């Protein structure tokens, strides 16, 4: 790999967090340029760093990558997290997208007026418990536990664990009727690179707060 990986985003999870998870799981060290001001963002655009005037942006292997899914796919291909063949890869992709459906519902939560967040959370809980978690529970039950796809860690495991943990933070009892998801959470969390990433002081970000929301609004002038 040519040079150290550098990621450009806010000091928060948002669309960058899954990329941080992947890099950490792959054992790829990275440094962060934290986006804090509108001037910094406009300068990045002026300097031609942001193809679509959007972040996340990741400098890796001499390239400046944008578009979250493209970045995730590049890193997971590089790390060997896409399954052993095309059939495993398409399963990985399906599970990743399923897990991201839940992530996409969480993403705007902190940007909602405080009084609307409770309702939104209830809705997320309902959809997670009725539609998505039963699918992953069944996959794991039928496989007899372990990884979601095949016999090795893939992007699907990482994406699902990230979502499980983010949802758990807000609804700590949500896994009570999903024993295989509980087992999965414990198993993947214990892998050395993941375990380290889950410890305080790692490059994992905290739950978004109003400070994060205000910075994003300031940078994008919204």
Residue 180 touching ligand GSH (CB under 6 A): no
The minimum distance between CB 75 and ligand GSH, in angstroms, equals 14
Residue nearest to ligand GSH (CB): 54
Positive or negative, the CA dihedral 222, 69, 123, 211 is negative
Residue 14 touching ligand GSH (CB under 6 A): yes
Instruction: Report whether 98 contacts 159 (CB < 8 A).
Output: no
Q: What is the rounded CA–CA span in Å between residue 84 and residue 46? A: 41
Q: Map residue 57 onto helix, strand or coil.
A: strand
Kindly tell me which residue out of 7, 12, 13, 15 binds ligand GSH, with binding defined by CB under 6 A.
15
Residue 34 touching ligand GSH (CB under 6 A): no
CB-wise, 14 or 98, nearer to ligand GSH? 14
Q: What is the rounded CA–CA span in Å between residue 14 and residue 18? A: 9
Q: Which of these, 8, 10, 14, lies nearest to 107 by C-alpha position?
A: 14
Judged by CB under 6 A, the chain residues 126 through 165 that form the site for ligand GSH are none
Judged by CB under 6 A, the chain residues 46 through 105 that form the site for ligand GSH are 53-56, 67-68
Q: Where are the alpha helices (DSSP H) in 82-190?
A: 86-106, 114-127, 133-143, 155-170, 179-189
CB-wise, 17 or 137, nearer to ligand GSH? 17
Contact residues for ligand GSH (CB under 6 A)?
Answer: 14-15, 53-56, 67-68, 220
């Amino acid at each position: 790999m040519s040079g150290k990986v550098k990621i450009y985003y806010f000091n928060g999870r948002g669309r960058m967090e899954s990329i941080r998870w992947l890099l950490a799981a792959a054992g790829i060290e990275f440094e962060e340029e934290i986006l804090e001001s509108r001037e910094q963002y406009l300068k990045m655009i002026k300097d031609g760093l942001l193809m679509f005037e959007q972040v996340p942006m990741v400098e890796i292997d001499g390239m400046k990558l944008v578009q979250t899914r493209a970045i995730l796919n590049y890193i997971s291909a590089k790390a060997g997290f896409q399954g052993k063949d095309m059939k495993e890869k398409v399963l990985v992709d399906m599970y990743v997208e399923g897990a991201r459906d839940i992530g996409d519902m969480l993403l705007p939560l902190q940007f909602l007026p405080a009084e609307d967040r409770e309702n939104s959370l209830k809705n997320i809980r309902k959809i997670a418990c009725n539609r998505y978690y039963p699918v992953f529970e069944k996959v794991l039950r039928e496989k007899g536990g372990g990884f979601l796809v095949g016999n090795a860690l893939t992007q699907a495991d990482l994406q699902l664990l990230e979502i499980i943990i983010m949802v758990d933070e807000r609804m700590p009892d949500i896994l009570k009727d999903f024993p295989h998801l509980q087992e999965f959470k414990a198993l993947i969390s214990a892998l050395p690179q993941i375990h380290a990433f889950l410890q305080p002081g790692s490059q994992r970000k905290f739950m978004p707060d109003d400070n994060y929301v205000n910075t994003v609004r300031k940078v994008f002038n919204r």
